[in-house]
Amino acid sequence: MEENKTKKVSRMEFLKNLGRGALLLFLGITGGAALARVKKKPAVWQIDPAKCIQCGRCATECVLRVSAVKCVHNFSLCGYCNLCFGFFQAGQRELTSGGENQLCPTGAIKRKFVEYPYYEYTIIEKLCVGCGKCVKGCTAFGNGSLQLQVMHDRCKNCNECLIAKACAGKAFVRIPAEKAYITKEGRES
């Protein structure tokens, strides 16, 4: 009886070892196949401003509240217009920074006089929710210097970006992490 028992235990052990070996092999093959498909260069999500249609989903679809997408101002494109279509609501009474004239729902754009007739517009990033209302105005009637970008200090770089899934213009792209922003002139920093 005693001998029988030890034999049984060792058979169990043997089967376990066999199973472990087989599973290890299987894991190795799966891991190897997956590693072969790994993209070498680290990549991040970014919005291609040329494709962006300002549908407003960046503000609502992100897993973060507030969204990782913010409006940035590409000053080198800006016309420094007095009548800025990114800043003023349609049918504004006068060209002042009064709240009733502003387009931005959170008042995140600061308007500053530079010299006649030019005004500088700066995004207060803390207030920006990434709704893209200003971008829409600027793109439609202005130079398109206001644009939406994924800010990488906020973005979690989810492998399945929910905004990218919901993006109506298919403007979300993976780009190399070392050049993580796209301006209308091309890629930057």
The least distance separating another protein from the CB of residue 94, rounded to whole angstroms, comes to 20
Q: Are 57 and 131 in contact (CB under 8 A)?
A: no
Distance CA 47, CA 95 (A): 31
Instruction: For another protein, give the closer residue by CB, 36 or 100.
Output: 36
Q: Out of 35, 94, 99, 126, point to the residue binding another protein (CB under 8 A).
A: 35
Q: What letter does residue 8 receive in the DSSP assignment?
A: H
For residues 127, 157, 175, 187, the Cα torsion angle rounded to the nearest 10 degrees is 20
Site residues (CB under 8 A) for another protein, limited to 89-108? none
Torsion (CA) 90, 91, 97, 99 in degrees, nearest 10: -90
Report the distance separating Cα 144 and Cα 41, nearest Å.
Answer: 30
User: Does 181 help bind another protein (rule: CB under 8 A)?
Assistant: yes
Helix and strand element counts for the chain (H, E): 4, 8
Number of residues that bind another protein (CB under 8 A): 68
Does 44 bind another protein (CB under 8 A)? Our answer is yes
Binders of another protein in range 2-31 (CB under 8 A)? 16, 19-20, 23-24, 27, 30-31
**Least Å from the CB of residue 85 to another protein:** 10
Q: Is 111 in the site for another protein (CB under 8 A)?
A: no
174 binds another protein (CB under 8 A): yes
Q: Please state, in angstroms and rounded to a whole number, the distance separating the CA atoms of residues 130 and 139.
A: 15
One residue of 3, 4, 91, 159 binding another protein per CB under 8 A: 159
* Least distance in angstroms from the C-beta of 100 to another protein: 25
- Please identify which residue in 89, 101, 106, 157 interacts with another protein, judged by CB under 8 A: 157
